[in-house]
Every structure is written in C-alpha cells, then in structure tokens.
Amino acid sequence: MKRILVLGLLCANFAYGQDLFDELDKNVKPSKSYTSATFKSTRIINGHSNETMAKNHLDFRIAHRFGKLNDGPYNFFGLDQATMRLGLEYGVTDRFMVGLGRSTSQKTFDSFAKYKILRQAKGPISSPISLTALGAWDAISLSTSPQFVFNNNLERWTYTGQLLIARKFNDKLSLQLSPSYVHRNKVENTTDPNDIFLIGIGGRTKITKRTTLNAEYFYRLPVSLEPGLLPNTSNYNSLSIGFDIETGGHVFQLHFTNSLGMVERQFLTQTAGAWTKGDIHYGFNISRTFSFDKK
Amino acid sequence: MKKIIIFLLGISSGAFSQNYYVCKAGQTSFFSETPMENISALDNKVAAVIDTDKNEIAVKITMTDFKFKNHLMEEHFNENYMESDKFPLGTFKGKIQETVDYSKNGSYDITAVGSLNMHGVTKERTLKGKMEILNGQIKLNCDFEIPLKDHKIDIPTLVIAKIAESIAVKNTFVFTKK
C-alpha cells in the first residue's frame, strides 16, 4: 500500500517535471528541416558538389593549377607555370544556379546550370539523400591549328551531364556519388571516343569546425557508344585530395591533383598526369560569396 | 487500492484540464554590430507556451529556423557557432514571479526565473519582459543578452569581423488560448 502511494507520488512528480515542453510538442508540429552544408562549396575539388548558391548570392571564383611537382627545382616544382579559371556563379533560386567561366587552359569558355532535385531532409517527408543535376557546356576558343583542326565552331563544343547524389551522414562525414557523361563534338585523337561515361566518388571529413579534408576520384567506365573505341589509355582517371578552409565570406580550397584543367572536358576526359609518376599539380580555388539579398 | 488508482487518475486528468496559452509563430531576432558588417537574423517559427495555472512559461527555438540575409552567415551560424546538428534546440523554461490575472485586460512588467539552454549549456537566468493581455490574447515582449562565453560558443581568432562577446536577443510572442 505504501509502495503504491510512493509510486503515485513519483508519477505525479514526473508529470510535473515533464511538463510544458511536452505540451509545446503536442501543439507545434516539428517542421521539415533541410540538411545544410553537405559540402562547404559548390565544388568538392574539381568536380561539382551537390551544393548550389543560395538565392541572390554571387560566387566569384578564382582557381589556379600549377605545373607538376616532378618538374623539379628548375621550375620550382611546378609553381613557375600556372593555369587559371575565373568564374562568376549565381543562385537564381535556392535550388537553381547558373555559372560562367573562362580558363586559360585551351582558352576555354564554360557555362553550367545546376538544379537541386531532392534535398536531404529531416522531419515529415524526410529524404536520406540530396540529388542535384548538372548540365554544363564548354567551348575551346583556341585558334585552329594543324595539331587540332576545327572546321566549324560546333566542333569546339563539349557537353557534360552529371547526377550528384550526396548524403551528409553526420557533421563529420559527407559522401557523394556522381555518375557522369561527357560528349565531345570533336576529339584531338581519332582513336578516342566522343562519349565518355564515368562514375565519380567524392567525400569530405571535418578536421576542425572550419577545415575539412576532401577527396575525389573519377573512374572512366570502359564502355563507349562507338564499337571498338574505348577511353584513351594514355589518359588517366582524375584523383584529387585537398583541404577546404573557410574564413567568413571566403572558402579556400587547397589541393593536389593529377588534372591540370578545371573544366569538365579537361579533368574528366583528358587528365594526362599519373600520380604514380609524380605528375601532381598543386592548386587552389578561392570562392568569395556576395549577397544581393534585400531581405 | 482502488482509491489510490482513482487518486492517480485524478492527478492525470487534473493535468489535462490545465489552462494553456500557446504561441506557434513567435519571433526571435538577434543583432550584432561588427566593424565589417552587421550580423542579424530572424526566426519567426518560435514555439512557446504559458501555463496560466502554474504561471510558467516554456519557449523552444529550432536553431536552423534562423534566417540570415547572407546565406553563408547562416551556414556558419549553424555549422561553426551553434553546431546545430549536435544542439538543434534552444530552450527556456521558467516561472513568472508576478501574479498575473489572465482573465482581464491589463499590462504587466514581469520577471521569469528559470533555465536557458543553448549550445548544450544550461544557465539559470532571470529574464525581464512586458506582458499585455488583450481580449484573451497574451502579447509578450522580452529582450535580453546572451554572453557567448556562458554557452561555450567560441569565436575563432581567425574571424576578421569581430563578433561581439554578448548578443542582444529580442522576442515577440503572441499567445492564444488553446
């Protein structure tokens, strides 16, 4: 009898302690919350991440890739040569962004559009992954030369399509899978197929609150639309490792990669360097965000 | 034995018949002036409840609901400062010290004593506010300061724009009877 009474008192006490927060939860439904910052930037290293710029935000990107580390001390381990890409990229809505860029490598102009089809979310109607689609176009503006003849402007064009499937597992780890397709209207080498299919895998892990370690690898699938032609074996798969460091409005990405180019055609299909031979380029991306939001 | 059960039922049913005033879309904002740019954010989905019988108030804020003008700031707020993955909520629960007659129109300067939880750290606080009761609605305004150190929110030395060590928070809630 006494025991029951004590139990009863405990119950009453418990009900009192529980209280108002329960009452709150009963009245206010939890809202859907989207996972943010799967990656710190719209690029993992060379390749796109699932992130897009927020609405009315402009991203000014300056990226450099230097020569090869195995160029030796005479070329200061590659730092004597640099290729560059300048980019202006803008968030039209919170899910849709567009970008323009110009690279010194092959005097290439590029543009892209990127749309978040699915966003990872918690709460009602949750989603375990993010899915972003990328469509990119680039044009080589090099003058036609005996080494690389362009009969018309169309031959200068390349199209890229990518699906970026990403998941932020926790605040430490994000991974992404990127099935990709590149169509080159003209290739330098006639034994090269015009179409290349790839599977990309990338990820990041947080080292400190403001620093992450990133890695990215694109595997060219041994398939082709043209019988008898396979991806050129004198090129390599692109592998990059680097750090993201963020400071206020900037994200600095410092990395080592075997790809010299920063446009999809160049790093996905024409990576000439091999890590095993020391053909490693040091490079960086600087991203500066400007908000034009009048909220 | 039976009596006790009845007694227990009595307690629980008593709990159900309490008088609650609920606010589903309260506004909480903060502002901090820095040499580089001002930092301000607004959350207009704050949930709060007042138990008029016990004279208690509870507030719950989802950190990711704070909206900034600059999206990058919002991301940094969640990722670096509040660590919203680990500590998604900010809460306050306290007892209102003054006697308030909720059945009549009137206005009161009130003091709530209770615990403020943010970034996983709970602090005992005494918060002052102004309460207005008008035609069955309760309007509550409450401004206070949060010293970042108290809640173990560190500011990196690398941040160029200095962030104030204490952030001014403003709250406006309108409660209606449930």
The answer to whether the beta carbons of residues B168 and B30 sit under 8 Å apart is yes
For residues B109 and B97, what is the distance between their CA atoms, to the nearest angstrom? 10
Q: Do B156 and A209 touch (CB under 8 A)?
A: yes
The length of chain A, given as a count of residues: 295
Chosen for mutation from A4, A13, A14, A20 (greatest number of chain B CBs closer than 10 Å) is: A20
Tokens 């709970």 belong to residue: B122
DSSP secondary structure letter of residue A108: E
Task: Pick B47's closest partner by Cβ from A4, A28, A54.
Answer: A28
> Per the structure block, which two tokens stand in for A289?
């965000």
> At a CB cut-off of 8 Å and minimum separation 6, what does A27 contact?
B20, B22, B24, B47, B49, B178
Name the CATH superfamily for A34-291.
monomeric porin ompg (2.40.160.40)
CB pairs under 8 A between A and B: 110
Quote the crossing angle between the two packed helices B2-16 and A2-27, to the nearest 10°: 20
Q: Do A209 and B158 touch (CB under 8 A)?
A: no
- Mean pLDDT of chain A, nearest integer: 90
Q: What digits encode the pLDDT tens for the residues B81-121?
A: 899 888 999 999 999 999 999 999 999 999 999 999 999 99
Task: Pick A291's closest partner by Cβ from B11, B56, B71.
Answer: B71
**Ranges of residues in chain A whose predicted pLDDT is under 70:** 1-18, 295
ipTM of the complex: 0.74
Which helix (H) or strand (E) segment holds residue A25: the answer is helix A2-27
Which helix (H) or strand (E) segment holds residue B47: the answer is strand B39-51
CA angle in degrees (0–180, nearest 5) for A132-A36-A266: 40
For residues A4 and B8, what is the distance between their CA atoms, to the nearest angstrom? 10
> Per the structure block, which two tokens stand in for B157?
């030395």
CA distance A213 to chain B (A): 16
Name the CATH superfamily for B19-177.
Lipid/polyisoprenoid-binding, YceI-like (2.40.128.110)
Q: How far is CA A132 from the centre of its chain?
A: 10
Domain edges within chain B: 19-177
For residues A225 and A223, what is the distance between their CA atoms, to the nearest angstrom? 7
- Cβ of B45: how many Cβ atoms within 10 Å? 16
Task: Pick B51's closest partner by Cβ from A20, A91, A247.
Answer: A20
For residue A247, list chain B residues with Cβ-Cβ distance below 8 A.
158-160
Task: Pick B20's closest partner by Cβ from A11, A23, A33.
Answer: A23
DSSP secondary structure letter of residue B81: I
pLDDT on residue A209: 84
**Torsion-angle region of A87 (φ positive above 0: left; ψ -120 to 50: alpha; else: beta):** beta
The percent of residues in chain B predicted with pLDDT above 90, rounded, is: 59
Q: Do B22 and A27 touch (CB under 8 A)?
A: yes
What b/e sequence results for A103-119 when a residue is b if at least 16 CB atoms lie within 10 Å of its CB, and e otherwise?
bebbebebebebbbebb
Task: Pick B75's closest partner by Cβ from A21, A33, A36.
Answer: A36
Q: Do A209 and B160 touch (CB under 8 A)?
A: no
- Cβ of B162: how many Cβ atoms within 10 Å? 12
pLDDT on residue A264: 96
Q: Do A37 and B74 touch (CB under 8 A)?
A: no
The answer to whether the beta carbons of residues A67 and A75 sit under 8 Å apart is yes
Q: Do B58 and A19 touch (CB under 8 A)?
A: yes
Domain edges within chain A: 34-291
The answer to whether the beta carbons of residues B117 and B136 sit under 8 Å apart is no
pLDDT on residue B1: 55
**Torsion-angle region of B148 (φ positive above 0: left; ψ -120 to 50: alpha; else: beta):** alpha
CA distance A119 to chain B (A): 15
φ and ψ at residue A72, rounded to 5 degrees: 85, 180
Task: Pick A249's closest partner by Cβ from B22, B72, B86.
Answer: B72
pLDDT on residue A16: 46
For residues A185 and A207, what is the distance between their CA atoms, to the nearest angstrom? 42
Tokens 């709150």 belong to residue: A24
Q: Do A23 and B58 touch (CB under 8 A)?
A: yes
> At a CB cut-off of 8 Å and minimum separation 6, what does B52 contact?
B19, B20, B21, B100, B102
> At a CB cut-off of 8 Å and minimum separation 6, what does B13 contact?
none
pLDDT on residue A2: 52
Bridge partners (DSSP) of residue B51 are: B20, B56
Q: What digits encode the pLDDT tens for the residues A128-173?
A: 999 999 999 999 999 999 989 999 999 999 999 999 999 999 989 9
Task: Pick A248's closest partner by Cβ from B57, B93, B161.
Answer: B161
Residues of B with CB under 8 A from a CB of A: 1, 4, 7-8, 11-12, 15, 20, 22, 24, 36, 45, 47-49, 51, 56-58, 60, 62, 64-65, 67, 69-72, 74-76, 78-80, 83, 85-86, 91, 93, 156, 158-161, 178
Per-residue pLDDT of chain B (178 residues; tens, 9 = 90+): 555 554 554 444 444 557 899 999 999 999 887 776 788 999 999 999 999 999 999 999 999 999 998 888 888 889 888 998 889 999 999 999 999 999 999 999 999 999 999 999 999 999 999 999 999 899 999 999 999 889 998 877 655 556 777 889 999 999 998 8
Three-state DSSP state, A21 = helix
Q: Do A170 and B85 touch (CB under 8 A)?
A: yes
- Mean pLDDT of chain B, nearest integer: 86
For residue A19, list chain B residues with Cβ-Cβ distance below 8 A.
51, 56, 58, 93
User: Rg of chain B's alpha carbons, rounded to an integer?
Assistant: 19
The answer to whether the beta carbons of residues A251 and A41 sit under 8 Å apart is yes
**Half-sphere exposure for B19 (CA within 13 Å, toward CB):** 12
The answer to whether the beta carbons of residues B49 and A27 sit under 8 Å apart is yes
CA angle in degrees (0–180, nearest 5) for B118-A94-B27: 35
Q: Do B49 and A23 touch (CB under 8 A)?
A: yes
DSSP secondary structure letter of residue B77: I
**Dihedral angle at the C-alpha atoms of A41, A44, A48, A54, nearest 10 degrees?**
-10
Q: Do B74 and A19 touch (CB under 8 A)?
A: no
pLDDT on residue A31: 74
For residues A292 and A86, what is the distance between their CA atoms, to the nearest angstrom? 20
